[in-house]
Amino acid sequence: MQQVQELPVDFVQMRSAAGRACRLMKVLSNPDRLLLLCELSKGERCVGELETLVGVMQPTLSQQLTVLREEGVVATRKEGKHVYYRIDSESAMAVMHVLYEQFCQEKSS
């Protein structure tokens, strides 16, 4: 059985950051939003690309992108009729890296 490594936690610092951390985890806890962020972690995408690549249809796609935008996780830019999304949160990107490492990469025994 593998030993779990302890973290050197500063409780006062963690208490002040807990609200922000919980908001980010709540945003990431929705499977559609998580998949959208997985795709956006590879780079900027327009709404049509996200719909095709992730398989989330309108209006669910718009609802989930709105949540991500309102929480400051993604940013947008408009080019003609197209709206492009990108991850705009270093914290979210760092968590996405950890989630990918823990759940998507094959573990060597």
CATH number at residue 34: 1.10.10.10
- Residue 7 lies inside a defined structural domain of this protein: no
- Residue 8 lies inside a defined structural domain of this protein: no
| pLDDT value, residue 108 | 60
Does residue 8 have a cis peptide bond before it, meaning omega lies within 30 degrees of 0? no
Starting from the edge strand earliest in sequence, which strands make up the sheet with 45-46, in order? Answer: 45-46, 82-87, 74-79
- Give the tens place of pLDDT for each residue, 64-106: 999 999 999 999 999 999 999 999 999 999 999 999 999 998 7
| pLDDT value, residue 25 | 96
Q: What is the pTM of this model?
A: 0.86
- Residue 5 lies inside a defined structural domain of this protein: no
Average pLDDT, the chain: 93
Of 43, 54, 58, residue with least CA distance to 93 = 43
18 pLDDT more than 80:
yes
| pLDDT value, residue 109 | 53
Tell me which residue range forms the domain holding 21: 14-103
From the number of C-beta atoms within 10 Å of its C-beta (0-12, 13-18, 19+), residue 87 rates as buried
- Residue 6 lies inside a defined structural domain of this protein: no
- Residue 4 lies inside a defined structural domain of this protein: no
For the chain, the domain total comes to 1
- Residue 3 lies inside a defined structural domain of this protein: no
- Tokens standing for residue 8: 């050197």
